[in-house]
Structure 1
Amino acid sequence: MTTELFDRYASIIRDLKEGDLVDVNSLPISLQIDRDASLTAYYPPFDYVNTRAKIVLVGVTPGFTQARNALIAARNGLKAGESHGAALMAAKQVGAFSGSLRPNLVAMLDYLKLNQWLGVSTCDELFANASHLVQTTSVLRFPVFINDANYNGTPNMTKHPMLQKMLKEYFVQEVKMLGDAIFIPLGPTVSEAMSWLGSQGLIDVSRVFDGIPHPSGANAERIAYFLGKKQRSDLSSKTNPEKIDQAKAELQKKISGL
C-alpha cells in the first residue's frame, strides 16, 4: 500500500464535516483530481490494496455514497489519532458491495464454486472473517461523476482520454500489486475495460474471469437465469439466454482449471 495520495489530502479529509456531505456538489473542490467538461473525478481514500488477496472483485467506479462513507471513515480514524495506513484500511472496508449487490454477488460466486477454491463455506465470508482473501476495487478506482450524477458507463471509458488516463495510471498500478490473484469483473462494462487494457499489454487477461451478470438488483432476471432459477421460456425479450449461456460455460471452464 502506498499512502502518497492520502498524505496529500489527509488534512482536507480531517477537516470534513459529516453533515455537509449531502451530494456530489458538496464534495470539496480541493478533493477534485481531474475534470473534463461534464466529467469530474474526486479523491476519496480507496488506496488500500490487500496484496494477499486470491480474488479481486472489480466494479465500474465508486458512487457518491461509497465515497462519502469512505471519507467519513477516514476522517474519524484521523481524528482518533490513527496512522494514515490504518485510516485507509478503515475507509476501504466501509460498504464494499453493500445493499442488494452483495447477496446477488455471493450467490453467483458460490454457484460457480469459487467458495470451494477459496476454502470457505460461502463467499459471504469474504466480507467478514475471510476478508484477507479478497480485494474489492473498481476499474475507475476513484469516483467519477457526469453532470453531478454517478457515472453509468457513458462516455465509454476506453475511448475517453481522461478516463483512459485513470485506467492506466491507477487501476493498472493496483493490478501490478496483486500477484497471481484472479479478477472477477462485475458486468460487461468492466469486462470491456479490462479487455482493452489487455489489448494494450497493460494487464494479463488470463487472470480475468469474466462472464457473470452485474449483481445489481435491477439485473434480477439475468441473475436468476444465470443461477438456473428461471427457465429460458419464462425470460423477457430483454434477456439474451444464448449470451449468458456462452459466457457462463467459458467462465466455468476457466474456473475448473484453477
Structure 2
Amino acid sequence: MEHAHLKSVAHVEIASAGLPKELLLSENGRYATYYAPFDFVNESAKVVICGITPGIQQATIAIKEAQEALEQGLPADEVLKRAKHSASFAGAMRRNLAEMMDLIGLQHWLSVDSCEDLFQTRQNLVHFTSALRNPVLDQGLNFSGGRAMISNSYLWGQIQTQLVEEIRSLPDDCVFITLGQGVDAVFEKLANGGVVERNRVLSGLPHASGANAERIAYFCQRKERGQLSNKTNADKLDAAREGLLSQITILSGEQNVPTSQKRETEEAAAQTPAPRVASTDFVTASHGEVKRIYAIGKVKGDPTLFTAKQDRSGRYVLNRKKSSPTTGNTTNQAENKVYAATLREAAELLESGDFLINLVTEKGVRALRSYTSVTIDFGH
C-alpha cells in the first residue's frame, strides 16, 4: 500500500481544476501521473471492472473521502477501501453499468438479484480498477486511452507493474469487464502473455459515461435501430451483445466444475461427433417470468447466441419431435408445427420433451438440430 502517499493526501488542497502538484508521481513527455488513493484491491472479487485511468473528478472524490476517513482516525486499509469505493464509476455510470451487466446475464452468474447490488449490499463481489491505476493526465487533461497504453513504454510500464500485480492477487475464476478505448487492447496483450485467460475477459460493453447514452440505450434494447443517429454503430453493438451473452452462458456452464472434470469433458467432446438432434436440458418453467429462451451453437467455429424464433404474427414456432424408424434419432417433423403466443407457453411445451423450438441468430441463421440444450432465462 502507498501509505506514505496516503499521508500526504491529508494535507493537500483541492483546486477547482487539475490535481495538486504535491501528488505528482512522475512525468514523461505529454503524460503526467498523480497519486490518488486507489490502492485497495478486493482479493475476493468475482467480477473486476476495469476502466482506462481515474479522471480528475474521480481522483478528487477519492482524495476528499480519504481526507474525511483520515480525520476520523481510521486505519489506512479502511481509508483506501472507502476512497476506492466512493469514486469508482460514481453517479450515473453505476446505473448504466448495472443495467448493461444485467442485460448480459452477469447477475445470474453471480447469483445476485441485480448487478446494482455490486454497488450496495454485495461490494464484496466486485473490484474496481483501471488499466492505469493512478490518474494519468495528457497535457493536463484527462487521458482518453487508446493504443498508446500498449505502445508507449511509460504507460505500458505502469500496466506491467501495478495492473499485473492486481490481477495476480485476484481469484483465478473472476471475470474482467473492460471499459474504455484501448482497455480491450491492454487485456488482449495480457492474455497473449498468459496473465489472464482470454475467455474471462468480457469486452464490448459501451463505456458507462453519460456521453454514451444512445449506445447504452441500444445495447440494453431500450432504443430501436431506426431511432439511432449516424454516430452509433448498431451492428457492432449487436455483435458485442451476442458475444457477451454467449460468454456468460458458457462461463455459467463451467461454474463449480472442477478443472480436471472440465478437461475430461472437453476431451470427450472432441472425440464424440456432435449430436444431430436437440435434447432439452433446463430447469422447470413453473416459477418466475420467462424472459428469454436461447441456446449456444457455433457459426463458422465461433460460439453464437441463438434465440427463440417468432413468425410474422409474433408467435414462437416449435416443431413436434418424431423418432426416426431407421436411425432411432429424433427428427423434426416440419409439417407438424406448434405455435406459442408467449415465451411461457413455449417453455411449457419444451418442458414436455416432445418439442423443439426454432432458434435463430440476429443474422437469421436457423438452428433446429445444432443445439444440445436449451436455456430458459427467468426474471425475478
Q: Normalization by structure 1: what TM-score?
A: 0.90
1:40 is paired with a residue of what secondary structure?
Answer: strand
The structure whose Rg is larger is 2
| Whole-angstrom distance in 1 between the partners of 2:94 and 2:7 | 33
1:158 is paired with a residue of what secondary structure?
Answer: helix
Partner of residue 224 from structure 2, selected from 222, 227, 231: 231
Aligned match of 1:103: 95
- 2:202 is equivalent to residue 209 of structure 1: yes
Amino acid in structure 2 at the alignment position of 1:80: Q
Amino acid in structure 2 at the alignment position of 1:14: A
Aligned match of 2:10: 14
1:86 is paired with a residue of what secondary structure?
Answer: helix
- 2:131 is equivalent to residue 143 of structure 1: no
Cα deviations across residues 117-146 of structure 1 (Å, max 9, x unaligned)? 212221111111111111111111111101
Amino acid in structure 1 at the alignment position of 2:102: D
| Whole-angstrom distance in 1 between the partners of 2:147 and 2:20 | 22
Partner of residue 163 from structure 1, selected from 125, 147, 155: 155
Consecutive unaligned residues of structure 2, counting only runs of 5 or more, are 253-380
Count of equivalent residues: 250
Amino acid in structure 2 at the alignment position of 1:194: F
Cα deviations across residues 18-76 of structure 1 (Å, max 9, x unaligned)? xx43322x5133x2222112210111111111111111111111111111121222222
1:145 is paired with a residue of what secondary structure?
Answer: strand
Q: Normalization by structure 2: what TM-score?
A: 0.63
| Whole-angstrom distance in 1 between the partners of 2:125 and 2:111 | 10
- 2:79 is equivalent to residue 87 of structure 1: yes
Aligned match of 1:245: 238
Aligned match of 2:17: 23
| Whole-angstrom distance in 2 between the partners of 1:191 and 1:164 | 14
In the TM superposition, what is the alpha-carbon distance from 1:224 to its structure 2 partner? 1.6
| Whole-angstrom distance in 1 between the partners of 2:210 and 2:7 | 37
Amino acid in structure 2 at the alignment position of 1:224: A
Aligned match of 2:285: none
Check whether the contact 2:146–2:183 (CA below 8 A) recurs between aligned residues. Answer: no
Check whether the contact 1:198–1:205 (CA below 8 A) recurs between aligned residues. Answer: yes
Task: Decide which structure has greater strand share.
Answer: 2
Which moves more between the two structures, 96-105 or 142-151? 96-105
Partner of residue 42 from structure 1, selected from 10, 34, 56: 34
Seen in structure 2, the aligned counterparts of structure 1 residues 201 and 119 have a Cα distance that, compared at 3 Å, is closer
Aligned match of 2:46: 54
Seen in structure 2, the aligned counterparts of structure 1 residues 10 and 241 have a Cα distance that, compared at 3 Å, is closer
Seen in structure 2, the aligned counterparts of structure 1 residues 133 and 216 have a Cα distance that, compared at 3 Å, is same
Which moves more between the two structures, 122-131 or 71-80? 71-80
In the TM superposition, what is the alpha-carbon distance from 1:214 to its structure 2 partner? 1.0
Point out which structure has higher relative CO (alpha carbons under 8 A, 6+ apart): 1
Regions of 4+ moved over 4 Å:
none
Task: Decide which structure has greater helix share.
Answer: 1
Amino acid in structure 1 at the alignment position of 2:234: P
| Whole-angstrom distance in 1 between the partners of 2:246 and 2:38 | 32
Q: What fraction of aligned residue pairs are identical, expressed as a percent?
A: 36
